[in-house]
Amino acid sequence: MKPVKIEFQRDPAWEFIDPIIPASQAIPNWYKEAQAYKTEAAIHDKTGMTFKACPAILDSMLQGYILPLWADVWVSPSEDGIAPVFTWAEGVDRGEADLPLVTWQGSPEVSKGFHHFDAMSSAPSTLKLNSPWLVKTPEGYSILTMPPLNNRDSRFEAVSGVVCSDVFTTYINIPLIWKAPPDYEGLIKQGTPLIQIMPFKREIFQQELSLTTNDGGDLSTREKACARKIGSVFRGGYRKFFQKTVVSK
């Protein structure tokens, strides 16, 4: 399969920042250290499996690219106790970028009514991290940006979005919902995963709905056959017989 090229660029002033990396290189340690089976004896007992035995979870974490935080930032409570204050490391504060690195998305009215913001935000409005990265995809391809799949941060969450990155060139700006308590104070380390970037080809899909009867039961029959094939081995049947993982480079 021939790779599809996606191009990320940053200003020379940011030459030495942590690069955008394939998601396969950003698997968190807690996942690597987890066990797929509670005990070795549970190899033949599905009740002994843990979440790590599910290949779909891992596959989601392997797709696309991870944009990491490019500099340390210290978060402290504001005097009014409403919106947090972000202080970047000294090298960033020297003004090497042409745009502010954090901006608030206007007045609180801008974010109100957005369900995820209303449900989880501890700040009056969403904020935006203005990254130094530009992106370009081939004709017909867009990018989907989202919180890192199965690896979200408890302090903030990116707002998902789609950009037609083949025709529209812009910096990858990251709208964030701030979730930490108003009195939170601490460091967000350089390299912290901010978003997962998923390139995809724009295509037209046409759904088909049917019943699993004699004239529409192909999928039901195939599901049973797949289950038998997976069940023919004690462990890893899906990975062995059906998994077709595409890992970005």
The mean predicted confidence, pLDDT, of the chain is 87
CB atoms within 10 A of CB 11: 14
Of 23, 69, 21, the C-alpha closest to 190 is: 69
- What average pLDDT does range 8-24 have in this prediction? 91
Q: Which residues are registered as beta bridge partners of 188?
A: 73
| pLDDT at 43 (0 to 100) | 61
Residue type at 120 in one-letter notation: M
Q: How confident is the model at residue 1 (pLDDT cuts 50, 70, 90)?
A: confident
Q: What is the pLDDT of residues 224-241, one digit of tens each?
A: 899 899 888 888 888 889
In terms of average pLDDT, the best of 4-13, 87-96, 218-227 is 4-13
Q: What is the pLDDT of residues 115-170, one digit of tens each?
A: 888 888 888 888 889 899 999 999 999 999 999 999 999 999 999 999 999 999 98
pTM: 0.88
Phi, psi of 127 (to 5 degrees): -120, 165
| pLDDT at 12 (0 to 100) | 86
| pLDDT at 79 (0 to 100) | 84
Regarding predicted confidence, which is higher, 17 or 158? 158
In the chain, what is the greatest distance between 2 CA atoms, to the nearest angstrom? 70
| pLDDT at 102 (0 to 100) | 81
Percent of the chain exceeding pLDDT 90 equals 47
Beta strand ranges found along the chain (DSSP E): 7-10, 21-22, 65-68, 73-76, 85-88, 102-104, 127-136, 141-146, 156-158, 161-163, 171-178, 186-188, 193-201
Regarding predicted confidence, which is higher, 217 or 13? 13
Q: Reading across the β-sheet that carries 193-201, which strands appear in turn?
A: 21-22, 65-68, 193-201, 141-146, 161-163
Q: Which residues are registered as beta bridge partners of 163?
A: 143
| pLDDT at 158 (0 to 100) | 95
- What average pLDDT does range 69-77 have in this prediction? 92
